[in-house]
Amino acid sequence: MHASLNIAETDFLDQYCGNVGNYTTNSNFQRNLNSLLSSLNSNSQIDYGFYNLSVGQTGPDKANAIAICRGDIGEEECRSCIRNSTGKILQVCPNQKEAFGISETCILRYSNKSTFGVMEDYPVSILVNSKNATDVNQFNQALQTLMSRLRSTAASGNSLRKFATGNGTAGFDTIFGLVQCTPDLSEEQCDDCLAGAIREIAACCGGQIVGKQGARITTPSCNIRYEVYRFFGVTPSIPQGPTLPSPQAQPVAPPPPPAEATSVFAGKKSNKARTIILITVPTVTITWRNWREGTALNVIDPALSKGSRTEMMRSIHIGLLCVQENIADRPTMASIVLMLSSYSLTMPTPSQPPFLTNSNTNQSNMSSSMDYNSRVTNSSEAQAEVLPFSANEASIT
């Protein structure tokens, strides 16, 4: 597996190539599909992160597509993810009349069948965080309560967005959750889709997901994710009401840093999509406190609000590893380069930096998105299997 410095150039997290049939070169369906993907790639109008397009006359040659971005990301990151997905989908699923690609911040699917307003809960993709919860029963109880609340909130959303985030407490762990449906679904359809995804936590794979600190479960029409660290950002506001027009979403900048820090992270993203990090001793306390509380994005300079929040969280994580109190625990420069380059490695949880007064505070069991070293992709419960992934398979290009 090869890792790239630019998250926009990485492969899909998972993909499904349909078995409804193949199209032939220069066929009407191929021309319609190419036109469809080209329109998605160049379309600057984003209806709050949701695209719905069709090309061709009604019939087997008509190409339909739906693309949706995660509800908390900005316009530019959304466009970038959609562009990347439209370029990748034909590479991973050549000549298929139906395909489904899952990226970190967006999902794309196309089909020769109608997609708009149709609830699709197959196929199911499941990515599992390999770490176990401290108290499995307590964790699962809190998780089900959180997911039920978020499911209700998302399903009752309007035709612009059906998305919800939140957190719950399980002993010493804080569980952060995210659920989303494509907004073309009705409230009942969204509720049913999310209910099915939530059931997979207990039903799939011989119970191998139960008690894990995180998982993401994705279907063509909805997805859920939970972790013991905050992995989502501020959700841009939208007008209320089910039938309002859909202008472009305006992302809401994260809250400014606390008054004692003028600018914790400042800099410009390079052409390799890497944020420049400047950490000084007076700001370490603030950064550490926000990291522990799951609000690390609060310390990001608002000027970077349109950047990749996933990349920002990775950069903060690495920065805190570099200022740990025990010098022996700090990563070497070679390790830092590897962390920046590989998305398949599991980074250690940072320990407390020096010069903090509350040195006995319990460490929160945070992680990064790279904790996913087990992956499940199932076409049915009976056929589901866990596919182990080794960090040693990663290499730098």
Kindly report the backbone phi and psi dihedral angles of residue 381, in degrees, each rounded to the nearest multiple of 5, phi listed first. -60, -40
Which letter, b or e, does each residue of 293-320 get, where b requires 16 or more Cβ atoms within 10 Å of its Cβ?
Answer: ebebbbbbbeebbbbbbbbbbbbbbbbb
Identify the pLDDT of residue 305: 58
Tell which residue, 160, 156, 180, 177, has the closest CA to residue 168.
177
Structural domain boundaries in the chain:
2-111, 124-229+370-396, 252-359
384 vs 141: which has the higher pLDDT: 141
Structure-token pair, residue 162? 């059906």
Identify the pLDDT of residue 238: 62
Place of tokens 């150039």: 9
Identify the pLDDT of residue 58: 84
| Domain 2-111: which CATH number of 3.60.15.10, 3.40.50.720, 3.20.190.10, 3.30.430.20 | 3.30.430.20
Distance of alpha carbon 165 from its chain centroid, rounded?
12
Identify the pLDDT of residue 267: 31
Q: Show Cβ contacts of residue 278 under 8 Å, excluding neighbours closer than 6 positions.
A: 265, 266, 267
Structure-token pair, residue 315? 């950069």
With a pLDDT cut of 90, the percent of the chain lying above it is 48
Within this chain, domains 2-111 and 124-229+370-396 share the same CATH topology: yes
Rounded to whole angstroms, the Cα distance separating 378 from 217 reads 11
How far is CA 272 from each of CA 229, 269, 275, 344, rounded to the nearest angstrom?
26, 8, 9, 18
Identify the pLDDT of residue 1: 31
Rounded to whole angstroms, the Cα distance separating 308 from 371 reads 18
> Which contiguous run of DSSP H or E holds residue 216?
strand 212-218
Q: What are 126-164's pLDDT values in tens digits? A: 999 989 999 999 999 999 999 999 999 999 999 999 999
Q: What are 322-360's pLDDT values in tens digits? A: 888 788 888 888 778 777 766 556 678 888 887 544 433
Task: Taking residues 387-397, report their average pLDDT.
Answer: 31
Identify the pLDDT of residue 42: 84
Q: Show Cβ contacts of residue 126 under 8 Å, excluding neighbours closer than 6 positions.
A: 200, 204, 205, 209, 215, 216, 217, 218, 375, 376, 377, 378, 384
Identify the pLDDT of residue 378: 39
Residue 269 reports pLDDT greater than 60: no
- Say which CATH superfamily domain 124-229+370-396 falls into: Gnk2 domain, C-X8-C-X2-C motif (3.30.430.20)
Rounded to whole angstroms, the Cα distance separating 63 from 30 reads 8
Contact between residue 98 and residue 110 where contact means Cβ atoms under 8 Å apart: yes
Place of tokens 């049913």: 192
Residue 258 reports pLDDT greater than 50: no
Identify the pLDDT of residue 10: 53
Q: To 5 degrees, how large is the angle CA 292–CA 8–CA 159? A: 80
Rounded to whole angstroms, the Cα distance separating 315 from 194 reads 32
Q: What are 47-95's pLDDT values in tens digits? A: 679 999 999 988 899 999 999 999 999 888 999 999 999 999 999 999 9
Identify the weakest region by mean pLDDT among 173-182, 223-232, 250-259. 250-259
How far is CA 262 from each of CA 269, 299, 354, rounded to the nearest angstrom?
20, 10, 21
Identify the weakest region by mean pLDDT among 8-17, 234-243, 330-339. 234-243
> Which contiguous run of DSSP H or E holds residue 200?
helix 187-203
Identify the pLDDT of residue 92: 95
Rounded to whole angstroms, the Cα distance separating 310 from 4 reads 14
Q: What are 167-226's pLDDT values in tens digits? A: 999 988 899 999 999 999 999 999 999 999 999 999 988 888 999 999 999 999 999 999
Residue 317 reports pLDDT greater than 90: no
Residue 261 reports pLDDT greater than 70: no
